[in-house]
Every structure is written in structure tokens, then in C-alpha cells.
Amino acid sequence: MQYGFFDDNAREYVITRPDTPYPWINYLGSEDFYGLFSNTSGGYCFYRDARMLRLTRYRYNNVPTDAGGRYFYLREGGDAWTPSWMPMKSALDRYECRHGMGYSRISSARNGLAFSQVSFVPLRDTCEIHKITLANESNVEKYADMFSFIEFCLWNANDDMTNFQRNFSIGEVEIDGSRIYHKTEYRERRNHYAVWAVNVPIEGFDTDRQSFLGLYNGFDHPQAVFDGEARNSVASGWAPIGSHHIKAHLAPGEAKTFVFVLGYCENPEDQKWERSVPGGNHGVINKKPANELLAKYGTSDAADKAFAELKEYWRNLLGRFTVDAEDKKMARMAGVWNQYQCMVTFNMSRSASYFESGIGRGMGFRDSNQDLLGFVHLVPERARARILDIAATQFPDGSAYHQYQPLTKRGNNEIGSGFNDDPLWLICGVAAYIKETGDYGILNEKVPFDNNEALADTLFIHLKRSFDYTVTHTGPHGLPLIGRADWNDCLNLNCFSKTPGESFQTTANFESGVAESVLIAAIFAFTGPDYAEICRRTGRDNEAMYAEKAIVAMIEAVNNHGWDGDWFLRAYDAHGKKIGSRECDDGKIFIESNGFAVMAGIGLNDGRAQKALDSVKDQLDTKYGIVLLQPAYKDYHIELGEVSSYPPGYKENAGIFCHNNPWVTIGETVLGRGNRAFETYAKICPAYREDDSDLRRMEPYVYAQMVAGKDAVNHGEAKNSWLTGTAAWTFVSISQYILGVRPVFEGLMIDPCIPSSMKGFTVTRHFRNADYQITVDNSAGVEKGVKHITVDGNPNKGTVLPVFGDHRLHNIVVTMGK
């Protein structure tokens, strides 16, 4: 069943009933200030860091689900209801939620009273705007009471939900007309506060949760709303909230609009207090930044203008890569939603979603580098800055902190380093950036090692250390040592954990110096050539030769020790035993090494590449995508680690771990098999499963990290939507390898590999300061092969388009054929 539809013209997903199979969310905010926003107005917001600077409280894993949000309660004619359905689960005569690019809109109605809420974060400002319109659609006068409601988080989200002995005594607010200030801990150590304001005079307010709800009531039964009367409570400790009570008299046909703003404000150290208070500050906050912010959004027109700017921002961004094709599902995903998700993963890394609590992980070294791959064409300048941030957490020997904190940009000690794939992803990210922009200057930027300025060296040297780290950390078969894990966090070959609760990733009870990864070898073979080419293009010929030799040696090692007969091996364990081999009882074949090796072109000349992907198809493919391994591990293997701790069919133990499916897709395009490439693309693409939402459960407009594999009870059920490397890699697979519009060092390469039934398509691509309108004609019905290309009417030599850089639109016509 479907719970909505794509409105392609508006670039919105329209949810037509509130009781979706899971909360279907959206992200508000483009930089610095972010909100998570569900289709029933649930979620929360934060400034920069979801753990340290969270403005509103959210209860993960709560009963009922999705508890906490920006709620608006209505009471009219004695009837109290919530127009966003939750939290009261009110029966609605009409309901619709439209998730768009950086905004959401909920519209509903009950008994002739219509409600609409437009929620977004304006560009540049650190606030959420919620524009509410009430309209009387009946022919009698209506006297409505509206109560806003948010619950403040005491900033540190982790402390907020654990440290009650302190927190129940520290909550503080200030109320000033229609403005409610949350100023807990705004003393010597904090210089920030939140403000929750509305642009009209209010009838009353509440800032103490218990006064508003009643101690034994849930959000679905706020006593103040039922009584039609705010308590004017002033929070002192316990749980500070923000609620405005507004009375609206609406004649038949009349509509009224209210602009609510939830803002984050900071004051300089010496201007924290309001000086006008005689005899000192008395803890009265300096409201200057709030005044400035609220002055900007004091009217409905001002809110509309900010909203229009946001829409324009996204129109421009998505104008950088557009797709027109007969297959609307592919076109809307590649042209809109996939890119949108890439922006979200770039911004959030793996911090805050409905599966990531926002208090756990910081930015991942490998994750953020891969996120760049799907983002770099959108805002290259931000990609550049991110690369420098990431590189600064690298250690002088080329290894890296596995994660770093976005606020401090420093590596996380608790997790440390030793994930031996990490260094290579830096090369991969930087190569993607240079191919996109042609900016070799980034290589000369001075970047610290280990966040230490004294150890700074050029970014190029960082790349060299990355490359060398792999070269110098090989095991008995000449393959890279795996360390704590490679891309697969759950292949913990040196962990040997028997103690519950021990972290599989950071525990090493057995430093073997033996366990090797075929996947890291394949990543090296894929991304190493980019390093060599960067060297050549910057006049470092000797280094290029050294790199090329090292790559040949690595491929040799894979050829000699990484092939199992019908597919590529996955790894060698700490005892030198094969993993991902027909010799194994379980885990005979893994997806990652096969996809990546073929992407890298290993075995192309002798049929092994094709054999490997045929084996993947035979043994790992399902209706819903390709599972990670088979057969699933049925027992815990101490020598393998976390992978064998999951029940069969979930996560890394034979789940469809979507992130790696595009590696097979790309591998198939390397083989020239466009039909199969597209099949693997479409299987995990959410738009193709829209009418299967009861089983899939997650949003039909975003990728999920995992879909339950064939060994799981709920095969086909997705989990962990939004924050996954799947976003970047599927975008790479569809845009660069299937549609085949691929930035390379010398220009824009055109190399489509599509289903033979696809008659053609059009892509527009912004590339190095020019626009390319690329029309591909496949009336020949081939899967791969470009017969000729014309550029502005003239034949083009080869398949790489020139770099124009002239801010003009160029017309490219591509004819496929043999």
C-alpha cells in the first residue's frame, strides 16, 4: 500500500495519511541549525551538534513512538485536537504532509477549522520558522484557542536524559511578552540561550511542563488545553517548556496567520547580561541577538520571503544535475531525492536521525569521505572545507582517528584509530573533489596531523601518508592488514571478545598482525590509480611510478591469494584462515570484495570479474537487493567478531546492507552489463517500492542503511533510513556509471551503461563553471558503447567533453551504439 505520492513538479513527497508505517521524516536546515521533522510534527532541533547543543527534547524509543515535537493544540467549540494528528491522534477531516527540500508543510482540518503549518530553517539564520494559518471554512463564527508547545532540552542531550538529580533543579526561563526564553545554565559557562516566540500578543503562557500537562498526563492530554486556559507558569527546575496561548476569532471564510520562531542565540562573553537593570545584571539575559533575529521574521511576508529564498536555493542546487527520462522513478530519485539525501548525509554524518540518537557518533573519517562523493557537485566549497577538517584528524603515519567531533573538529580518543581502510577514503574523497573542480591547489593547503598545527604539512603529503600506510601494513599474503575492521565495521578479526558489552570495534584481545583484508586491497586498486594520476598531473613523476608499482604488486597479491575459484575471497583471519571461501561453513561469499574488485577492474581480462559478479547474482541476490554474505552465520565466531553476533539476515550478517550494493552496480557497468546494473540499482531504490510501504516501512523517498535479508523473518523490511553511505554511492552509481556522466581529471566523461530497453535520456550537468545539456540517444538498443558525440553541433573527439568554464550552456548529443 502507498501512504502518499511524489509531487515531482513541486519536488515534494506528499503523505496522505498520518499513520505511516514508521514516522516519515524530513530535515530542516542547510548549515549550522538543523531540525528533524516527522509527518506528524515530531522531532527536535539543534545548533551544529545534536549532542551538545540541542534545543528541544526528544524521547527516542518511546511509547508511543515519535514523542516530542513542535506541537500546536487547537480547542474550538469545546473540542480539543492536534492538527498534526499526533500527539492526540485526533480524527481529521483532511490531512496532508508535504516534505520538500528543507521544509515541511502539514495541512489538516476538523469541523470546518483548517490548519496549515509550514516549517523550515531560513538560510543563514539559526532558527526554525513555523508559519501557522488558521482558516474558518464554515459559515459560522469560530472562536479558537491555539496552544503552542515545545519542551526544552537542557542543551547536552545525553546529560538531559540521565542526570536528573542535577537537572531537575536547574531549569530557568524568562518570559517577555510573546517571547519565552530558555536560559538554563546561562551563567558563566554558557553563553547561549533559546527563544520561542510568536509575532502576536498572547493570552497567556506556560513554561513548566507539569503545570501545562498535568503530572500524570501525556502529550495527548494537556490539561491546560482541555481547560482552555494557560496557567502562566514560570518554570523553576523540573522540565521547562514553551507554550503560548493565542485566541483567534475567525469570521466565516476568514484566515489568520501566526509566525512562530524557535531560535538559538549567543552573546559575547562581556555582553551576556542586560545592562539596563539597575544594580547589576540579576541574571537578566541580553536579548539583543534575539531581538535582531525576531525583527527579521516578525511578519508573515517576511517568513514567506525567507521561504521563497530557501526554495530558490534548492532550485539552484538541484539545477546542477537534472535528469529527464521515461522512467520517472529513476528520474525523481537521481534528479531530486538522492541528491537531497546526499546533502543530509554530508551535514549530519551519522549523528541524528530516527535511528541515530544524536548523542553517539561524531563524524566518521571513512563515512564523511564517502559522503563527499555524492555531495561535491552541489557545493564544492563546502566539500573542500570538509576535506581539510577530516585530513587534520589524520595521524602522521597515515592512519586516522576513526571519528571526530563536529564542534571541536578533534579526533575522538574513545574510538581511536586502527581501521585500516580509513586512510584510503581520504584519497578517494580528494580525488572526487579534484575531478569535480580541477582545483589542484587544495593539495598545497597546509593541514595539521593529529590536530596539531606543529605537525602540519600539505594535503598532498596527507595523501601520500594514506597511500604509504596501506603499502607498509600488509600481512603474510601481501594483502593489507585489516586492523580493527575495514569498511565492514563488524569484521573484527583481532577482537576475540567473550565479554558482553565490550565494544567489538575498540577491543583487541589478540593483536595478530596477521588478519588481512581483500577489500582494502580492492579499495587500494580502485583509488590508488587516482593517487598516481594526481602525482603525474602535479609533476611528481617518480612518486607516480612508485605508486603504480605498488598497485601492480597489490593486484598481484589479490590474484595470487585473493581468488577463491568462483569469486574473490573476503579476508584472512588472525590464524591465516580464509573468510568468504567455499571452504567455510558459513560466510562462504561476501559482497564487498567482489563488488570493489570488479569496480577496480581486477580480473577483467581473464573472466574472473564476470565470474565474481555472476556468483554474487547466483548466491547473494534477492528480490530486495543483494545480501552481504551467505550463508548467514548461525553461531558466534569469536575469531570474526560482531558480524556473527547479529541474527541471520540483519545488518552485516547477511542483511541487504545497501551501501555496498552500488559497488556491484558499478562493477556491472565496468563489465558493460547495463541491464543487470540497472536491476541492482532499482532493487534498493526506495521509489520502486513505494506501493510496498507496509513491508518496507521506511520513507519511499530515501535510502535505508539496511533491508532485512532472506534469512530474516521480515525479509524486505528496511531500517535505519537517511544516514547511510548508500546515498552517496547510489548517486555515484546512477549518475556517473549508469547514466555515465562522470567527472574525470581531464573533463566530463560520457560513458553510459543502461538497460537495452532504455531509449535515451537527458541530463543537465553543471561542471567547472559551465552547463552541459546532454541528450543520449539509444535507439540502437545497446547496453554500453558511445558511437559519436557532438558538442554544440560539432563532432567531439573521444568521450571526454571539453572544460569550457565559460558560464554558458552547451548542447551535447550522444549516440550510443556498437
Active site residues: 489
Supply the minimum distance, in Å, between the C-beta of residue 634 and ligand GLC.
18
Judged by beta carbon, residue 120 or residue 425, the one nearer ligand GLC is 425
Q: Which amino acid is at 647?
A: P
Supply the minimum distance, in Å, between the C-beta of residue 723 and ligand GLC.
8
Supply the minimum distance, in Å, between the C-beta of residue 35 and ligand GLC.
23
Residue 363 binds ligand GLC, judged by CB under 6 A: no
Supply the minimum distance, in Å, between the C-beta of residue 319 and ligand GLC.
30
Q: Which residues contact 212 (CB under 8 A, 6 or more apart)?
A: 149, 206, 222, 223, 224, 230, 231, 233, 241, 243
Please state, in angstroms and rounded to a whole number, the distance separating the CA atoms of residues 231 and 210.
10
- The set of long-range contacts for 382-389, using a CB threshold of 8 Å and a minimum separation of 24, is 382/31, 382/346, 383/346, 383/433, 383/436, 384/433, 384/437, 384/439, 384/442, 386/346, 387/426, 387/429, 387/430, 387/433, 387/442, 387/459, 388/442, 388/445, 388/447, 388/459, 389/363
Supply the minimum distance, in Å, between the C-beta of residue 364 and ligand GLC.
5
Q: Give first-to-last CA distance, the chain, whole Å.
A: 42
Q: What are phi and psi of 550, to 5 degrees?
A: -65, -35
Judged by beta carbon, residue 135 or residue 706, the one nearer ligand GLC is 706
Residue 570 binds ligand GLC, judged by CB under 6 A: no
Supply the minimum distance, in Å, between the C-beta of residue 486 and ligand GLC.
8
SS3 128: strand
Neighbours of 158 (CB within 10 A): 14
Supply the minimum distance, in Å, between the C-beta of residue 25 and ligand GLC.
18
Residue 487 binds ligand GLC, judged by CB under 6 A: yes
CA distances from 498 to 136, 423, 620, 712 (A): 65, 29, 30, 25
Judged by beta carbon, residue 543 or residue 639, the one nearer ligand GLC is 639
Residue 505 binds ligand GLC, judged by CB under 6 A: yes
Judged by beta carbon, residue 39 or residue 726, the one nearer ligand GLC is 726
Residue 367 binds ligand GLC, judged by CB under 6 A: yes
Q: With b meaning 16 or more CB within 10 Å and e meaning fewer, what string describes 645-677?
A: bbbbbbbbbbbbbbbbbbbbbbbbbbbebbebb
- Count residues contacting ligand GLC (CB under 6 A)? 16
Supply the minimum distance, in Å, between the C-beta of residue 781 and ligand GLC.
38
Please state, in angstroms and rounded to a whole number, the distance separating the CA atoms of residues 736 and 729.
10
Residue 652 binds ligand GLC, judged by CB under 6 A: yes
Judged by beta carbon, residue 126 or residue 492, the one nearer ligand GLC is 492
User: Which region among 133-141, 294-302, 485-493, 595-603 touches ligand GLC (by CB under 6 A)?
Assistant: 485-493
Judged by beta carbon, residue 414 or residue 635, the one nearer ligand GLC is 414
Supply the minimum distance, in Å, between the C-beta of residue 558 and ligand GLC.
20
DSSP conformation class of 737: I
Interface residue with ligand GLC, options 30, 466, 488, 630 (CB under 6 A):
488
Judged by beta carbon, residue 97 or residue 600, the one nearer ligand GLC is 600
| Cell numbers at 443, concatenated | 593539495
Length of the chain (residues): 818
User: Which region among 254-262, 440-448, 651-659, 736-744 touches ligand GLC (by CB under 6 A)?
Assistant: 651-659
Residue 356 binds ligand GLC, judged by CB under 6 A: no
User: Which region among 188-196, 457-465, 484-492, 564-572 touches ligand GLC (by CB under 6 A)?
Assistant: 484-492
Per CB under 6 A, which of residues 20..79 are in contact with ligand GLC?
A: none
DSSP string, 148-209: EEEEEEEE-HHHHTT-HHHHTTT-BEEEETTEEEE-TTTTTT--EEEEEEESS--SEEEEEH
Judged by beta carbon, residue 105 or residue 651, the one nearer ligand GLC is 651
Angle at the Cα of 578 from the Cα atoms of 574 and 580, rounded to 5 degrees: 120
- Cis peptide bond N-terminal to 752, omega within 30: no
Supply the minimum distance, in Å, between the C-beta of residue 490 and ligand GLC.
5
Judged by beta carbon, residue 188 or residue 414, the one nearer ligand GLC is 414
Per CB under 6 A, which of residues 698..757 are in contact with ligand GLC?
A: 705, 724-725
Supply the minimum distance, in Å, between the C-beta of residue 705 and ligand GLC.
6
Judged by beta carbon, residue 364 or residue 686, the one nearer ligand GLC is 364
| Cell numbers at 198, concatenated | 510568536
Interface residue with ligand GLC, options 371, 436, 489, 639 (CB under 6 A):
489
Per CB under 6 A, which of residues 447..466 are in contact with ligand GLC?
A: none
| Cell numbers at 309, concatenated | 529564498
Which residue number places its CB atom closest to ligand GLC?
Answer: 489
Interface residue with ligand GLC, options 127, 482, 490, 738 (CB under 6 A):
490
Report the side by side order of strands in the sheet with 800-801. 741-744, 747-750, 800-801
Residue 571 binds ligand GLC, judged by CB under 6 A: no
Strand 446-449 and strand 794-795: pairing?
unpaired
Strand 589-590 and strand 621-622: pairing?
unpaired
Interface residue with ligand GLC, options 51, 179, 244, 651 (CB under 6 A):
651
Judged by beta carbon, residue 366 or residue 386, the one nearer ligand GLC is 366
Residue 644 binds ligand GLC, judged by CB under 6 A: no
User: Which region among 78-86, 124-132, 363-371, 736-744 touches ligand GLC (by CB under 6 A)?
Assistant: 363-371
Please state, in angstroms and rounded to a whole number, the distance separating the CA atoms of residues 299 and 258.
8
Judged by beta carbon, residue 241 or residue 363, the one nearer ligand GLC is 363
CA distances from 174 to 61, 206, 296 (A): 31, 11, 21
Residue 422 binds ligand GLC, judged by CB under 6 A: no
User: Which region among 296-304, 360-368, 542-550, 612-620 touches ligand GLC (by CB under 6 A)?
Assistant: 360-368
Q: One symbol per residue from 249 to 288: x for binding ligand GLC (CB under 6 A), - otherwise; what is it? A: ----------------------------------------
Residue 350 binds ligand GLC, judged by CB under 6 A: yes
470 class by beta-carbon count within 10 Å (0-12 exposed, 13-18 middle, 19+ buried): buried
Q: Which residues contact 235 (CB under 8 A, 6 or more apart)?
A: 171, 172, 173, 207, 208, 209, 241
Supply the minimum distance, in Å, between the C-beta of residue 341 and ligand GLC.
14
DSSP string, 405-448: -TTT--B-TTT-S-BTTHHHHHHHHHHHHHHHH--GGGGG-EEE
Q: One symbol per residue from 664 to 703: x for binding ligand GLC (CB under 6 A), - otherwise; what is it? A: ----------------------------------------
Q: Report yes or no: 461 and 436 within 8 Å, Cβ to Cβ.
A: no
Interface residue with ligand GLC, options 151, 208, 356, 642 (CB under 6 A):
642
H-helix or E-strand spanning residue 256? strand 255-266
Q: Which residue has the cell 602525482?
A: 535
Nearest alpha carbon to residue 429 among 372, 367, 478, 507: 372
Residues lying near ligand GLC in the complex (CB under 6 A) are found at 350, 364, 366-367, 487-490, 505, 642, 651-652, 659, 705, 724-725
